[in-house]
Chain A
């Protein structure tokens, strides 16, 4: 594998680590299977790209993209807590609606960002090639997001959110208004995913309406894969596992692309993903001799 391919895997892995963290929040913390992400990822890309092309500041555009994602998450949550629609179905409804909404926002199916000013443009002034600068910048960003999330989940509000997912009836008995926490948690989750979409569009040169296909699968592969590799008892370990899972997944993809001896091609990617996720779910059974169950750290 060339250095560019390796660093490229790290780069895409870090971008999707944000998606993994978002999926972790909905899927694991809130116990809310959320397919909205297939719509909020391209939503973030659409909002950000449209704003940049219209002349807005890229940082502002990325922030607004995150807010748009938060809105999408809240719609799904609202459908679930207010209208009592099953969470999975509610998320599918929002995802479907977002396809049309994203098209409307962009005005066309593809908005190109090549040559536009993006959040990554300042990196070009540095004395290193972009394929090195980008992963480093993303690593710093993802670390910052992770630490913020750790702090949040360990705060009173964060603990209440975790309780909402684990045992909503008990949570309500402790005075937690679970509806509000679901709305807030879903907003945060999809804000992260939309933000990732905005960054992805800026680094890859375009926002395309088809960006969302398969995002939930990749997010879950990262979360579940990370859990297979790392004991996730404490919150900081769980978020770390999301990041590691995402990067390892991308490295595996890059490995498959570059392993000419195996004869694997990108076309085999779906099969590889399925094998990886299956391994990740089977491995916990194999792990037991190495892991002391229940202790923290």
Chain B
């Protein structure tokens, strides 16, 4: 074996075992791990940071802020988790299920606040959402499906068949579709599901629903939402009302959505982080669902898709798009 080469490798490893930048003992250290960069997840992160700033904690002024994105790679997420466990921050914020799972597997002592996780119990992050009991708590972005189905029925009262497009490879989306299949029938709507494994398949999936459904609902599915315009095109052409689970989609052509802003999810997460920094125990903090909900409507989309929105509805809306 070549000793010299191995020696150089060892030296390189030693150099990397550096001491990271100086931090005052009084600084609060918040470490954020995110599975992939994406507008919604980035908005969560911003929400957290803004809440901390409003409380007087900014970088260089009482706060040490670490952020790493795993670029969609599970092994990287694992190494990030280990780095953070070794850095021993005051709180680890884990955005999205895979990042949260590997953090929870790595540390049982450092407080962990997850965010943008649709099913924390199913993901085994907490055993009991009301009394987590360990070092983990957080905010779930589970869509209030029952409320959304009610909105669909309110806008399209005669709908008996509801179309849904979803990527079977996204955990959150799959959970939402199951919930829809429970809630929609309660309001007299049967459910037709069309699958799209990548954004290029969305148009075909939407077309497959024409003639089979009275309305289309798009849950917060990264794949389908990224190709939302394709669904709108079909909705406009075939006069099928399109509703969404996220409010950004309304300005892109959905009739209406009662959604939340991921920025607000981030703010809610930030508030939980502040409580923990002030000494609260995560195990005593119940998992929170999204508190704020806004109604958005789009009048031209309503016209294109053959829907009349009542005056009451428009008055309730937070934002009305012409």
- State yes or no: do A and B touch (Cβ within 8 Å): yes
Contacts of B85 on A, CB cut-off 8 Å? 2, 4-5, 8, 131
User: Nearest residue in A to B2 (C-beta to C-beta)?
Assistant: A290
The one of A108, A205, A210, A269 that contacts B101, using a Cβ cutoff of 8 Å: A205
Cα distance, A208 to B69, chains bound together (Å) = 17
Contact status of A210 and B72, CB under 8 A, knowing A8-B78, A103-B168, A229-B9 = yes
Q: In which size bucket is the chain A interface?
A: 35 or more
A205 touches B102 (CB 8 A): yes
- Residue B292 at the chain A interface, CB threshold 8 Å: no
What separation, in Å, do the CA atoms of A66 and B124 have in the docked complex? 25
Asked whether any CB of chain B lies closer than 8 Å to the CB of A64, the reply is: no
Q: Which of A79-87, A136-144, A149-157, A260-268 contacts B (4 or more CB under 8 A)?
A: A260-268
> Could you tell me if B12 and A255 are in contact, using CB atoms closer than 8 angstroms?
yes
Asked if A8 contacts B18 (CB within 8 A), the reply is no
Are the CB atoms of A204 and B73 closer together than 8 Å?
no
Q: How many A-B residue pairs have CB under 8 A?
A: 181
Q: Is B68 a contact partner of A265 (Cβ separation < 8 A)?
A: yes
- The one of B82, B98, B169, B170 in contact with A9, judged by C-beta atoms closer than 8 angstroms, is B82
B213 CB-CB contact with A under 8 Å:
no
**Chain B residues bordering chain A, tally (CB within 8 A):** 55
Docked Cα-Cα span, A110 to B87, in Å, equals 28
A131 partner residues in chain B, CB cutoff 8 A: 82, 85, 106
Please name all residues of chain A whose beta carbon is closer than 8 Å to the beta carbon of B5 when the two chains form the complex. Answer: 229-230, 287, 290
Interface: A29 (CB within 8 A):
no
Residues of B within 8 A of A256 (CB): 16
Interface check B293, CB cutoff 8 A: no
Q: Are A260's CB and B124's CB within 8 A?
A: no
Residue A259 at the chain B interface, CB threshold 8 Å: yes
A109-B171, A266-B70, A267-B69 known; A257 vs B79 contact (CB < 8 Å)? yes
Is A2 a contact of B101 with CB atoms below 8 Å?
A: no
Chain A residue numbers with a CB within 8 Å of B37 are 267
Q: Which of B67, B78, B88 has the most CB of A within 10 A?
A: B78
Complex Cα distance A7/B13, Å? 12
Q: How many angstroms between the C-alpha atoms of A219 and B16 in the bound complex? A: 23
B53 at the interface (CB under 8 A from A): no
Q: Which chain B residue has the least Cβ–Cβ distance from A113?
A: B124
11 further A-B contacts with Cβ under 8 Å, apart from A131-B85, A131-B106, A267-B37, are A8-B81, A11-B82, A12-B75, A103-B168, A103-B169, A112-B124, A204-B74, A206-B123, A209-B169, A231-B1, A290-B5
What are some 12 contacts across the A-B interface (CB < 8 A)? A108-B171, A109-B168, A114-B101, A206-B98, A218-B75, A230-B2, A259-B18, A260-B21, A265-B67, A266-B69, A269-B76, A270-B71
List residues of B whose CB falls within 8 A of some A CB: 1-2, 4-6, 9, 12-13, 15-18, 20-21, 37, 67-83, 85-88, 97-98, 101-102, 104-106, 122-125, 127, 168-171, 174-175, 197
Closest 8 CB pairs of A and B: A2-B86, A8-B82, A255-B16, A4-B86, A205-B105, A112-B124, A114-B124, A110-B171
